[in-house]
Amino acid sequence: MIFSIDNILSPEEISEIKQVLERAEFVDGKLTAGWHAKLVKNNQQLKSGTSQKELKAKICAVLFKNALFQTTVRPKTIHSILFSRYDQGMSYDTHVDNALMKNNGSFCRSDVSFTLFLNSPQDYEGGDLTIEGVQEEQHYKLDAGSAIIYPSTTLHRVNPVTQGTRLVVVGWVQSVIRDASDREILFDLETARRAIFAKSGKTPEFDLISKSIANLLRKWADI
């Protein structure tokens, strides 16, 4: 399931992050790419250090507070967050994200990927995120503060930036629910449950759906 979330970051939060990035040092993005991804990755990433740790913590806190992110992704761990910059001519050609990624000395699974945009699409040309499907491609270039969430299993790419600079945060999630179709079932049930509650309150139907959600979580949760 691919979906977008608007206004994850406020304009003030975006401004604060960009001020830090303007003073920070960026390094070659190939440093965090797998052996085959290095061949197609051409961008820059925020160098590891105090600033990076503080910004990562800020992004994690914002995502864990977001109700839609929680309901859809059901995160166990948000990991491997990168602050990426694409200047003119830079791109990241077709690749699939690594299934396992090092996080604080241990491996985490990548179930869900996200790209959180830090500047306006008017600030640069090109640079859209393209997610490849069986019969079609989907292109994303969202407003500053908005994010696109998509399965880590997909082939995807960042098309060349032809003018300006593209600033994004990318990261990965190990979900409590490993299977994407199971996460979608739980999301649909949760959406129906909330709609019933908003319309009619705590009804017998609401209780039955609540029971089903709880029991499916018991059955599927990977904790």
Average pLDDT over the chain, rounded to an integer: 96
Residues placed in the known binding site for 2-oxoglutarate: 166
Residues 66-86, mean pLDDT to the nearest whole number = 96
Q: Say how far apart CA 184 and CA 81 lie, in whole Å.
A: 24
Q: Which two tokens stand for residue 213?
A: 């959600």
pLDDT at position 69 over 90: yes
pLDDT at position 104 over 90: no
* Alpha-carbon separation of residue 193 from 46, 69, 186, 198, 208 (angstroms): 41, 17, 10, 9, 9
Q: Return the pLDDT at 120.
A: 96
Q: Say how far apart CA 205 and CA 35 lie, in whole Å.
A: 52
Find where tokens 């019933």 sit.
196
Residue-wise pLDDT tens digits, 159-216: 999 999 999 999 999 999 999 999 999 999 999 999 999 999 999 999 999 999 999 9
Domain topology for 3-175: Jelly Rolls (2.60.120)
Confirm if 65 and 53 have CB atoms less than 8 A apart.
no
Q: Return the pLDDT at 166.
A: 98
pTM (2 decimals)?
Answer: 0.94
Residues 143-168, mean pLDDT to the nearest whole number = 98
Residues placed in the known binding site: 95, 97, 156, 166
Q: Return the pLDDT at 204.
A: 98
pLDDT at position 88 over 90: yes
Residues placed in the known binding site for Fe cation: 95, 97, 156
Q: Which two tokens stand for residue 84?
A: 């990426």
- At residue 129, the 3 state secondary structure works out as strand
- Give span(s): CATH 2.60.120.620, the chain: 3-175
